[in-house]
Amino acid sequence: MAMTMTEFSEAVISGDSEKVKSLVQDALDKGASAEEIIESGLVAGMDVVGERFKSNEMYIPEVMVAARAMHAGLDILKPLLTESEMSKKGTIVIGTVKGDVHDIGKNLVAMMLEGAGFVVHDLGIDVPKEKFLEAARAHCADVIAVSSLLTTTMDSMAEVVQTVKTSDNNPGVMVIIGGAPISQEFADEIGADGYGENAGVGVDIIKKWLEDRK
């Protein structure tokens, strides 16, 4: 399967959705497991995309196209996976805070997390603080990722962190924040566990957290 998996990665990197779907079906027909295709093909391709994004060799539109190609493959494979297989790497709840309707950065992080093999529950935009915690409990999430683009909604972000950290039923979830007006200083001030200065860095932080937990 080595050559096919290399082809998978190349198809994901170039954003060729039709080729990804064809390769997925071909690999399944030849006896490859869904997990093998995801890990050695789709995730491997998105890992390259993430590295190129961080080094400014790829930009947001190209990453989005690559992520869509990866999703085209995942859509075929997800029905073949058990819930335990899908959540083996970790589960993330992500959303944009109450009062903020911007989602490009949040969507990019969500796509890159799925591309890294995590289960992602995207709550969307304008998300109340309580919903982050409720979703984390409902999905047994390992991490809550919170986005804000407006300085006027930074207080909402602080409220999300406070709600999670002070809850009597805190599920032990870690909280990472990010967005244009956010800084490490602000993350420290409000008690967030981490800060992603961009999508690539944020994904790397989450990867490290969950690898260290194993």
Taking 90 as the threshold, does the pLDDT of residue 121 lie above it?
yes
Which CATH number do you get for residue 10? 1.10.1240.10
Whether residue 71 is found in the same domain as residue 161: no
Pick from 55, 83, 111: which residue ends a domain?
83
At 174 the pLDDT is 95
What band does 3 get if pLDDT is binned at 50, 70 and 90?
Answer: very low
Average pLDDT over residues 173-188: 95
C-alpha span between 194 and 118 (Å, rounded): 18
Domain that includes residue 6, residue range: 2-83
Q: Classify residue 138 by burial, with Cβ atoms within 10 Å: 0-12, 13-18, 19+.
A: exposed
The answer to whether residues 91 and 71 belong to one domain is: no
Separation of alpha carbons 4 and 9, rounded Å: 9
Contact in structure between 133 and 172 (CB atoms under 8 Å):
no
Same domain, 58 and 98: no
Same domain, yes or no, for 126 and 34? no
Mean pLDDT of all residues in 86-100: 88
List the strands of the sheet with 194-196, edge to edge: 119-122, 91-96, 143-147, 174-178, 194-196
- Residue 86's pLDDT is 57
Q: What is the DSSP letter of 1?
A: -
Residues 95 and 192 in one domain: yes
Please say which residue of 83, 114, 130 terminates a domain.
83
pLDDT at 200 over 90: no
| Residue 23 sits in the same domain as residue 120 | no
Over residues 21-47, mean pLDDT:
88
Tokens 């008690």 identify what position? 191
Q: What is the mean pLDDT of the chain?
A: 89
| Range 90-99 average pLDDT | 96
Is the confidence at residue 213, as pLDDT, over 50? yes
Q: What is the CATH number of the domain that holds 148?
A: 3.40.50.280
- Mean pLDDT in residue range 73-91: 76
Q: What is the pLDDT of residues 44-72, one digit of tens each?
A: 888 899 889 888 899 888 988 998 999 89
- Do 27 and 107 share a domain, yes or no? no
Dig out the tokens for 181 from the structure: 């007006």
Query: What string of DSSP letters covers 88-155?
Result: SS-EEEEEEBTT----HHHHHHHHHHHHTT-EEEE--SSB-HHHHHHHHHHTT-SEEEEE---GGGHH
Q: What is the pLDDT of residues 127-155, one digit of tens each?
A: 999 999 999 999 999 999 999 999 999 99
Q: Which distant-in-sequence residues (6+ apart) come within 8 Å of 208 by Cβ?
A: none
With cut-offs at 50, 70 and 90, classify the pLDDT of residue 77.
confident
Domains identified in the chain, total number: 2
The residue with greater pLDDT, 14 or 199, is: 14
Given a cut of 70, is residue 98 above it in pLDDT?
yes
0.95 exceeded by pTM: no
The reply to whether 19 and 123 lie within a common domain is no
Share of the chain above pLDDT 90, in %: 56
Instruction: Please report, as a single letter, which amino acid is at residue 85.
Output: E
Claim to verify: residue 95 and residue 77 sit in the same structural domain = no
Residues 187, 105: one domain?
Answer: yes
Same domain, 155 and 183: yes
User: Which pLDDT score is estimated for 152?
Assistant: 93
User: Do 171 and 96 fall within a single domain?
Assistant: yes
182: left (phi over 0), alpha (psi -120 to 50) or beta: beta
